Amino acid sequence: MAEEFLATEMDTAVRVVHLASSLCVKVQDKLRLPSSANGHVKSKDDDSPVTVADWGVQAIVSWVLAQVFGGQNLSIVAEEDTESLSKAESLGLLGAVSSAVNEALSEASKYGLPKPDKPLETTEILEAIGRCNSLGGPKGRHWVLDPVDGTLGFVRGDQYAVALALIENGKVLLGVLGCPNYPVKKEGLSNGCNQPGTKGCVMYAKKGSGQAWMQPLIPGGYPEAATLLKVSSVDDPVLATVCEPVERANSNHLFTAGLANSMGVRKKPLRVYSMVKYAAIACGDAEVFMKFAQSSYKEKIWDHAAGVVIVEEAGGVVTDAGGRNLDFSKGVYLEGLDRGIIACSGQVLHEKLIGAVYASWESSSL
């Protein structure tokens, strides 16, 4: 019975991320129009941007999960809240969110999801966004959502991800990543996301299945087929492609460059927004993702949960820099993290990287 229920949760999660990704594509297209960009983006307290898509995705995912599984005992940990959206000066923004949500939900049945009988009122949309107020923790089942991971990339027309995971008693059960700008052609990210060709996919995995899957994003519909994902077989650092965050505030580029150099990495690092870095490793477009944030920065569970399980089930390894598994049981933050996060396409590269971290650490400025 539990296995059947988990299968339903997996199926619903994949479908709702497809639907949410379609909303993001439409909103990002509008952001490219000079007349639409103003008013569709706000700044949060930490100066990071939040857009119509962030709130829109959170509303859709929350509403659909509540419809399918009931809202009573639903626990959703998510990045956005309704505070700034509820203010009087945000009326235009709330209208834009409402319009995006209702446009997307009107197509929900094409994705095999419930559809509202009539357009949702703004109060219902705010309620759906506000429902995502759980703090997670060591007990119970918690959905973990980053509605638009890499909002800066989203605003700039670059890479971003819709990330949804399910955690039970501190362990990630499943993860889904919607990557609407990910180039699905074999040349991958190095070709650049603005090149012509097929782009957009949803990746997903269930813990312990030994399988990770990718489906193409289809405008206005749900795909029939899925492709099995497998990490790269490259285990020589000389041939490895390393991913790291774009923003310097999020990672110490100098340290990771020194680390890569000490391992013999020759290729220039691939600087990518969002959890798309995990996606690149899961489908074999890159071999290493390193993130060493400044000591004052605390990693959030929604920035990693979905990506970690997808990489692991595709055959990769994800730990902190001390080689320990990431701990998703402590609430919103990844507490007790040893220095940084390392994701690799395999055990051999991972061991070399952990060794290089220990060798380099003493001489670093961190």
Query: With the CA atoms of 32, 36, 37 and 39 taken in that order, what torsion angle do they form, in degrees rounded to the nearest 10?
Result: -160
Which is the catalytic residue, given 151, 241, 256, 319?
151
Query: Do residues 250 and 291 make contact, with C-beta atoms less than 8 angstroms apart?
Result: yes
DSSP-based three-state secondary structure for 221: strand
Would the annotation count 149 as a binding residue? yes
Pairing status of strand 49-51 against strand 317-320: unpaired
Can you say whether residue 162 is alpha, beta or left, with left for phi > 0 and alpha for psi between -120 and 50 degrees? beta
C-alpha span between 237 and 115 (Å, rounded): 49
Size of the chain in residues: 366
Would the annotation count 45 as a binding residue? no
Query: Do residues 228 and 337 make contact, with C-beta atoms less than 8 angstroms apart?
Result: no
Which is the catalytic residue, given 54, 158, 285, 320?
54
Strand boundaries in the chain, DSSP class E: 41-43, 49-51, 76-78, 141-149, 161-168, 171-183, 199-206, 212-216, 227-229, 242-244, 270-271, 288-291, 317-320, 341-344
Would the annotation count 124 as a binding residue? no
C-alpha span between 205 and 305 (Å, rounded): 11
Question: Interior CA angle at 61 toward 10 and 135, to 5°?
Answer: 90
- Angle, in degrees to the nearest 10, between helices 91-105 and 2-31: 130
Residue that the structure tokens 């001390």 belong to:
322
C-alpha span between 1 and 292 (Å, rounded): 41
Task: Mark whether 12 is an active-site residue.
Answer: no
Can you say whether residue 170 is alpha, beta or left, with left for phi > 0 and alpha for psi between -120 and 50 degrees? left
C-alpha span between 76 and 134 (Å, rounded): 5
Would the annotation count 46 as a binding residue? no
Task: Mark whether 54 is an active-site residue.
Answer: yes
- Give the active site residues: 54, 151
Summarize the annotated binding site for Mg(2+) as residue ranges.
79, 146, 149, 303
Summarize the annotated binding site as residue ranges.
79, 146, 149, 303
